[in-house]
Each structure stands twice: as C-alpha cells, then as structure tokens.
Amino acid sequence: MPGLGEGSRYVNRYLDYFETTLGFTCFPGTLNLNVKHPLDFSSHEKIQIVPKESDLVTVDCYLISIAGEYDGAIVVPHKTRHGPDVIEIIASVNLRETLNLKDGDTLPFEFE
C-alpha cells in the first residue's frame, strides 16, 4: 500500500533508537501493509522505545523475520494517522525493492 510519504522522515528521527534497541541497521523508510484483521500482539514480546525528544512519541516494536531472511520490526507509534487495518514495518533492507513488491502483494513474515 502506498504510504503517506513520511516513513523515511520518521525512521531517520528514530534511527539511533531503532538500531540500538532492536539490534539491526534500518533502511530509512517504512513499508505499510493493509491487514484484513487487526493483529493481536498480546502473545509477542513488545519492545517499547520512549524517546528523550519531546516532539517524538513512544513506539511499540515487535521483532519479525521477513521472507525468512531479513530482520525487521512492526512499529506501532502511540500517535499515528493510520487505522488498525494498516501496520508499519521497518527492515534492514528496502523491502519494496529487495522483494520486488507491488501494491497489493503479500509479505511473508514471522514474529521472533
């Protein structure tokens, strides 16, 4: 799904937090996925990032493995314009280019 064009700006602002907390180098952008049903994160480990900067919001992160070979995380900002039918993913690579994804494609991932 095409995003709002703000993913790279936010990932760049959180980059140091993501890399030190999640343990992988992030591509500076997000991939937005439409989900048919809101995901239930209750049985997965939540890693919460609470930025020091007053203009940044707390972000809940859930580590995932993408297509069996790429590090990633679902990021759930405590303030977002997206509804529960959209999840944002950060990854170690540009997923759209690396996996040749087009709007409407599915993305295989597993929680770690």
Report yes or no: 26 and 92 within 8 Å, Cβ to Cβ: yes
> Which domain, by its residues, includes 102?
7-111
Overall domain count for the chain: 1
Asked if the model's pLDDT at residue 31 lies above 90, the reply is yes
Q: Is residue 23 part of a domain?
A: yes
Residue-level pLDDT at 10: 81
Q: Is residue 50 part of a domain?
A: yes
Report yes or no: 10 and 32 within 8 Å, Cβ to Cβ: no
Predicted confidence (pLDDT) per residue in 69-101, tens digit: 999 999 999 998 888 889 999 999 999 999 999
18-to-35, 58, 77, 106 alpha-carbon distances in Å: 23, 12, 13, 24
Asked if the model's pLDDT at residue 24 lies above 90, the reply is yes
Residue-level pLDDT at 95: 95
* Total-model pTM: 0.90
Q: Is residue 1 part of a domain?
A: no
Kindly report the CATH number assigned to the domain that includes residue 39: 2.40.30.30
Residue-level pLDDT at 5: 58
Residue-level pLDDT at 4: 45
Predicted confidence (pLDDT) per residue in 34-68, tens digit: 998 889 999 999 999 999 999 999 999 999 999 99
